[in-house]
Structure 1
């Protein structure tokens, strides 16, 4: 009988210690990786490639874009992007004004320096 009581006590202790190591809520998900191409590389269309090396290349539909990006807490910081300065009639060059971006599924939503949403692109590669 003492042996059974000792085994039950040891089992209860083991369960108690195991419970201490578990989390009480769902595991935090890692932010989605922005690496890849967003939008379609077609004339007059905005697209952006975020390289795994932290480099940006792309187009606002008219001008070429270059720069560097970082990600922290799920927000992609696009830093200071450089661009060509061509005039293209009828092209909305909103992407050249992007400062940050967030990802939800396969959609990247871009915001300007004031935090206003200015557009979105879908992952293509």
Structure 2
């Protein structure tokens, strides 16, 4: 009789079909995973940490044929590919490990002996930004350790103030007074709104205004900032916005001037009239993780 053999074959065939149908379920056989070494997550960059200059100072970088890039708070960048000046816009990937840029040349110099540096894709390795070079190996840029001149802008989402580096080299502001004046000038010209930050100065509230001088405090007197224009004295803002605008300027002054953050700031117009009357920086307006200068 052949029936037992047929029944056995049918059972084996049915078992094979059942096994095949379960391969897409939770009982499916998975590929082997190497557990001998733990997976190391790459450190992430943040937009705030990225801001500023990376690479050697521009003069040194030009002599050596090395790149440098300065990332600004408004999403723009400037720098050099080791031969030509470049400009463009930057974007940090969501995972915080790659910076992508639409870099374009801002000068046209022939440098046949220098391999072209590609700055449209930079990778963050935890400390440096790694770039690629045509016909050569990769290179890396370290963030400049030079002191940053900052202005305080309003962080989108939190509505609080955060120090943002401005694109000025230390040589352009070698003294504390010059640094404070440069910070205030940048604040007066800051864009009113942006993707990451906004300002209550900018075009309307800083129109036609410059910085004449910044005078450090002495014998209990406030810092005195002298402006060459109206300084937003006629800017129509709510009471809350006016307070935040005053804090923007006060924090910008005391941080760059490197004085006690409890020092008050007075702003005078071209005729000696007061635009801001002895404003004291208030840490309650700072974004979490931001800090003003240390008290002496």
- TM-score in terms of structure 2 length: 0.28
Q: Which residue of 2 aligns with 1:77?
A: 100
After superposition, the Cα gap between the structure-2 partners of 1:34 and 1:88, relative to the gap in structure 1 and judged at 3 Å, is same
- SS of match in other structure, 2:70: strand
Q: Which residue of 2 aligns with 1:36?
A: 52
Q: Is the 8 A contact 1:36 1:49 kept in 2?
A: yes
Bigger Rg, which one: 2
1:57-95 Cα distance to aligned partner (Å, 9 max, x none): 0011210000000112212111x211022102432321x
- SS of match in other structure, 1:98: strand
Question: Aligned residue pairs: how many?
Answer: 90
Give the 5 Å matches for 1:1-125.
31-32=45-46, 33-40=49-56, 41=58, 42=60, 43=62, 44-72=65-93, 73-74=95-96, 75-78=98-101, 80-83=102-105, 84-94=107-117, 97-111=118-132, 118-125=138-145
Q: Distance in 1 between matches of 2:83 and 2:103?
A: 15
After superposition, the Cα gap between the structure-2 partners of 1:121 and 1:87, relative to the gap in structure 1 and judged at 3 Å, is same
Q: CA deviation at 1:107?
A: 0.4
Q: CA deviation at 1:50?
A: 1.0
Q: Distance in 1 between matches of 2:116 and 2:44?
A: 31
Higher strand share: 1
User: Whose RCO is larger (CA < 8 A, sep 6+)?
Assistant: 1
Higher helix share: 2
Q: CA deviation at 1:100?
A: 1.6
Q: Distance in 1 between matches of 2:84 and 2:70?
A: 14
- TM-score in terms of structure 1 length: 0.60
Give the alignment's Cα RMSD to 1 decimal: 2.3
Unmatched runs of 5 consecutive residues or more in structure 2: 1-42, 146-296
Deviating above 4 A after TM superposition, structure 1's stretches of 4 or more consecutive aligned residues are none
